[in-house]
Structure 1
Amino acid sequence: MKSHNITISDIAKELGITPSTVSRALSDSPRVNDKTKKKVQETAQKMGYHQNVMASMLRKGSSGSIGIIIPRINRHFFSNAISGIERIVNPAGYNLLIYQTEELYQKEVEGIQAFMKNRVAGIILSIAAETTHFEHLNNLQNKGIALVQFDRVTDLVHGPKVINDNFNGAYLAVKHLIQTGHKRIAHLTGAPHLNVYRERLRGYMQALTDHGIQPDQALVFDNSITRDGGAANIGKIMSLNADAIFCAGDYAALGAIQELKNLNIAVPEQVAVVGYANEPFSEIMTPSLTSVEQNAFEMGTRAAQALIDMIENKDNAHDHTDIIPVRLIVRQSSLVSTY
């Protein structure tokens, strides 16, 4: 067989397995056992697959590159997700191009247009905070370019999605605050139209209800996900007699704690604080911050694998949501001594 004709489907046929299994094996996915990986890699090398990835992509009308569009590259979550994506796409023969929207809708549209001009094989996207219309994404799919959404997603665009268990993460955080004796729990959240903040709000509300606490809408503060947003709302939160704050992001928690300190309000003795994201600063600030770990690296690997599956096996382009589990990391900001 001539090497320039080799595709993942050819390797799959040779071995009697599915193309998606071949793709995962070539990407060193933990979802494929070592024996199968070895067999696939040996067969791919024998058949000359790696030497012809670029030529194969060019014949399909794409460049052999994958584009990723994210709100902010300087966030720990997104940089970890990119690392996970690279772990999968590079061994599979793809290059990664990165575009940052800075939360702006127009820049997201421009990023899509730029990647289309560069004939990328597919795009992995996390929606900008400003984005409420999705014609640019539907147009992308109409042109046959594979799209996988991750973290911030919309059901108005078809295709695979990879998200955190945002509801459960918020539920665990608020349950922890209730179990440590808190009842007036404020919530600093982000843009309400984004799925991640909508689900965290839902988890917050459900945890209160399940523990016999009537949710108070006055304690919910939208568009307060930044450090400045966290600090700005502390005066109002304290006027409402809150004894704890659940923040939908660690930067809001950082701002909240700094402002509480400025007001000589002790954390956690007078007000407990819990964040979300487990940013690197959360374990070294004083007090150290209780937060929800999102497992961004795993989210990146799952999103990348879903995209490669779409590119190499078009029948795999169906609506499917992969939910990544989260965990609560308890630190000093929410632990009040009972002695």
Structure 2
Amino acid sequence: MKIKFLKAGTGDCTIINHNFKNIIIDGGNESTYLISEYYEIKSRNERIDFLIITHHDDDHIKGILDLFKEIEIRNEEPLIDNVIFNSPRKILNKIEKIKESNLLSYKQAHELEKYLINHPNINWETSLIKELEAKINLVFHDQNLSFKIFSPSKDILEKYASNKGAYLTSDYRCDWNSSLSTLIKSIDDKSQDTSSSNMTSIVLLLMYKDNNYLFTGDVTPIRLSEIIDEIRLQNESVNFKLIKLPHHASYKSLNSEILQKLNCKNFVVSTNSKKHYLPNKKTFLKIVNSRKSNEIINFFFNYGEVISNLKISKIDEEKYKFNLISNNKDDGYVFDI
């Protein structure tokens, strides 16, 4: 199995390849490597078995739109079997009835809706379909592998689809120029992401050979805490082999309550760092402060150049016992499992 965290601008684009099958999670807002990967998949006579769009913010959906435009320019049929996309109008069963919105994320959602309507050969589902997990698990033909999808509730989706609430919110304060010794004094959970767009984010859990891999989209802390509770059931904490940090390692997207519920020493940061001053250095401190053992924490970056923006010395990495690890491929970071 390969899990690829592609370079995708300020957003996310993850590809899971196993047994000649492929899942793409999001498309970022820079599509160069996504388009290249799509045609690499095509060259192997494979398809995109599932395309999952966690939510319709620009830095998750724009790359998907770019890919579809490229396919249309080449006058090709898309090699995509299934799309999971919580379209606002599909959620409300009003595909042809809602007026266009001026909000960027809604314009892009409408554009994707039109594409999917014009290509009925692509099976389009929302994450509220009960049989969805079973359909994904059947694709890979591997008893050692299973997926679980954590969807936002119907109420949350309907509220967002009705065009209510705030969109694309973020904390623009930059902490890159502050030292870790200064920042660690102000670690707290007072500022938390509650944006309605991020609240709708789909979260995907991959379970493979007794290891858990969590793909969080931009999920908010309240929702992520609920998901961790569901995963761990009656256990005090749950072990994860790898977690993609929510919302590009924003300090507002994690809290100590969540971190106490899990054990993980490998985290992925997905962003080129050119928007909203993400990742936040305090995110790394919050994680290392919450670990339950003396193990080294690893932070993997799909863009290695982001590490230099953070201005963290090797001395500080050793002092606080974590590693900042640059992308291992030209197009991002790839894990061979």
Q: So what's the TM-score if we normalise by structure 2?
A: 0.30
Structure with greater proportional strand content: 2
Structure with greater proportional helix content: 1
- Larger relative contact order (Cα-Cα within 8 Å, sequence gap ≥ 6): 1
Q: So what's the TM-score if we normalise by structure 1?
A: 0.30
